[in-house]
Amino acid sequence: MKATDRPLRLDDLPMFASDRQIAEAIVGKDEAEKWMRERLPTLASKPGFPPIDAFHGGRPVRLVARFYDEYLGGSAGSGSAPRGVEDVSAWKPSRRRA
């Protein structure tokens, strides 16, 4: 598989990217148009979702990634549970006896 055949990721994008590039990295090429039409307007109005930087002509990708980390409750590799999901290991009783 060539590098151009694999799905685009936010990490693959330049520092500032177009909405189309961001859409493809988030939902894939096949769903990008629908995401831009149906989801982007809602996201663009949410606090923390970065606006288009007029000087650079795109959204800052690092801030888009940060928005999604917060939205999803932390990055996948952080070890933290998504928002609303409790870490049940914290509730296990101690094996030590008094």
How far is 14 from 61, CA to CA, in rounded Å?
Answer: 7
| Domain membership flag for residue 49 | yes
| Domain membership flag for residue 23 | yes
| Domain membership flag for residue 37 | yes
Query: Is 19 within 8 Å of 36 (Cβ atoms)?
Result: yes
| Domain membership flag for residue 88 | no
pTM of structure: 0.69
Render pLDDT for 22-33 as a digit per residue (tens, 0 to 9): 999 999 999 999
Domain ranges, residue 60: 10-73
Residue 40 burial class via C-beta count within 10 angstroms: exposed 0-12, middle 13-18, buried 19 and up: middle
Q: Indicate the number of domains in the chain.
A: 1
Render pLDDT for 1-50 as a digit per residue (tens, 0 to 9): 555 667 889 999 999 999 999 999 999 999 999 999 999 999 999 999 99
